[in-house]
């Protein structure tokens, strides 16, 4: 890009969808239009660019979507874009359409894709953090995280009722393969007795010891929040003979040792759905507008984010090469509160 202002914007939502993506599409579109840019939305992430599957967006096309979950542009994973040939094709199509700035709303994979496109295309590339996992460095929060927390909490509150009634142990598996942001937030929010995180090794014997202690102190039910990354990586069984890769098996193992009725609930994809929570709508709207502003200033190869209440940009590469850490204070107080 020369120093000229961009005249045509492209938008994609890519990878795992997240509530609030629509609010981001709307904000980018409306602010870009105000600055006399034309806007196109590509369908299904990078697939839409590779296959020239897109729609022209005007003010009306993004009306009445700020409150809707999912994404009007759909999302997808695009294998072809993983190859240099696929990215060449995408670059060629972007040139053909006259797009000079591309906004990529997605998680770390989508942002890696944006960075990889830089070798093929000389337009501006701006990322927006769109993932329920909250695992991108360079921003305190990602679009979709707050809604995922709320959705999981509402479900877990119901599980807590039945756990109390039947004096059971419940393991609730939440999303988070690599990072425990959802599990920790949810664990604090629902007052879980235990939170198992991919960032911390799980010692089953110690865990069972703590359950038995709290039982001795009069607690009759127990809620354990498990990040999916914990079972994905595996937990060693009590006799150290097998690695458990499944929350239901983990519950059985706990039952075997404690004699307490133990069940597993896997929340799964409900965590991606639903109308975006207030904070996700606000985050997505502000980052959408800000993304256009930084593009007008000539930024490229960056993700927009928010740090300590201030909007900022961070080089795309840093979003996955730097580590995004869990809140140490929340980690410290979790067991104190339970």
> For ligand ADP, which residue of 69, 107, 198, 276 counts as binding (CB under 6 A)?
107
Shortest Å distance, C-beta 311 to ligand ADP: 21
Interaction of residue 282 with ligand ADP, rule CB under 6 A: no
Interaction of residue 116 with ligand ADP, rule CB under 6 A: yes
Annotated catalytic residue within 17, 108, 133, 140: 133
d(CA 247, CA 266): 8
* Contact stretch for ligand ADP (CB under 6 A) within 11-19, 58-66, 180-188, 196-204: 11-19
283 phi and psi, to 5 degrees?
A: -60, -50
* Contact stretch for ligand ADP (CB under 6 A) within 36-44, 59-67, 109-117, 263-271: 109-117
* Contact stretch for ligand ADP (CB under 6 A) within 9-17, 24-32, 171-179, 279-287: 9-17
CA dihedral 40, 45, 47, 52 (to 10 degrees): 0
What's the chain's length in residues? 338
d(CA 104, CA 15): 10
Q: Mutual orientation of helices 108-117 and 84-97 as an angle, nearest 10°? A: 70
17 is catalytic: no
Interaction of residue 113 with ligand ADP, rule CB under 6 A: yes
Q: Which is nearer to ligand ADP, 41 or 107 (CB)?
A: 107
Query: H/E element holding 200?
Result: none
x/- binding map, residues 50-79, to ligand ADP, per CB under 6 A? ---------------------------xx-
Interaction of residue 110 with ligand ADP, rule CB under 6 A: yes
Interaction of residue 272 with ligand ADP, rule CB under 6 A: no
Q: Which is nearer to ligand ADP, 45 or 305 (CB)?
A: 45
Count of residues near ligand ADP by CB under 6 A: 18
Q: Mutual orientation of helices 278-296 and 145-166 as an angle, nearest 10°? A: 160
Interaction of residue 144 with ligand ADP, rule CB under 6 A: no
Shortest Å distance, C-beta 113 to ligand ADP: 3
Q: Which is nearer to ligand ADP, 128 or 196 (CB)?
A: 128
Cα end-to-end span (Å), the chain: 54
The per-residue b/e assignment along 216-233, b for 16 or more CB within 10 angstroms, e otherwise, is: eeeeebbbbbbbbbbbee
> For ligand ADP, which residue of 14, 22, 71, 334 counts as binding (CB under 6 A)?
14
CA angle, residues 285, 17, 302, in degrees to nearest 5: 55
Q: Supply the Cα-derived Rg of the chain in whole angstroms.
A: 22
Nearest to 28 by CA among 145, 130, 116: 130
Q: Which is nearer to ligand ADP, 111 or 223 (CB)?
A: 111
Q: Which is nearer to ligand ADP, 80 or 246 (CB)?
A: 80
Find all residues with CB under 8 Å of 218, minimum gap 6, and list them: none
β-pairing, 222-227 vs 8-13, is unpaired
Interaction of residue 112 with ligand ADP, rule CB under 6 A: yes
- Which residues are near ligand ADP by CB under 6 A? 14-16, 45-46, 77-78, 81-82, 106-110, 112-113, 116, 131
Active-site residues: which are they? 133
């Amino acid at each position: 890009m020369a120093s000229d202002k961009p005249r045509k914007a492209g938008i994609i939502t890519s990878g795992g969808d997240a509530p609030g993506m629509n609010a981001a599409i709307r904000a980018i579109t409306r602010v870009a239009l105000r600055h006399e840019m034309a806007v196109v939305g590509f369908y299904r992430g990078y697939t839409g660019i590779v296959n020239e599957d897109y729609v022209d967006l005007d003010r009306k096309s993004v009306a009445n979507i700020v409150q809707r979950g999912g994404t009007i542009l759909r999302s997808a994973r695009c294998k072809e874009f993983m190859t240099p040939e696929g990215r060449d094709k995408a670059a060629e199509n972007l040139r053909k359409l006259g797009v000079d700035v591309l906004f990529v709303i997605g998680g770390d994979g989508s942002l890696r894709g944006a960075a990889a496109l830089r070798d093929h295309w000389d337009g501006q590339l701006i990322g927006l953090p769109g993932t329920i996992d909250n695992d991108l460095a360079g921003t305190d929060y990602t679009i979709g995280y707050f809604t995922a927390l709320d959705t999981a909490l509402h479900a877990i509150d119901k599980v807590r009722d039945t756990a109390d009634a039947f004096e059971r142990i419940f393991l609730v598996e939440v999303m988070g393969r690599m990072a425990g942001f959802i599990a920790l937030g949810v664990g604090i929010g629902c007052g879980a007795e235990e939170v198992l995180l991919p960032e911390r090794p799980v010692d089953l014997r110690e865990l069972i010891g703590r359950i038995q202690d709290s039982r001795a102190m009069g607690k009759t039910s127990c809620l354990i929040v498990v990040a999916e990354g914990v079972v994905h990586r595996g937990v060693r069984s009590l006799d150290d003979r097998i690695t458990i890769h499944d929350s239901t098996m983990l519950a059985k193992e706990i039952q075997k040792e404690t004699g307490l009725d133990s069940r597993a609930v896997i929340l799964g994809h409900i965590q991606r759905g639903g109308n975006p929570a207030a904070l996700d709508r606000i985050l997505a709207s502000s980052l959408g507008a800000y993304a256009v502003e930084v593009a007008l200033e000539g930024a490229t190869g960056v993700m927009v984010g928010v740090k300590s209440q201030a909007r900022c940009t961070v080089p795309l590469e840093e979003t996955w090469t730097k580590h995004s850490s869990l809140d140490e204070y929340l980690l410290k107080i979790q067991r104190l509160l339970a």
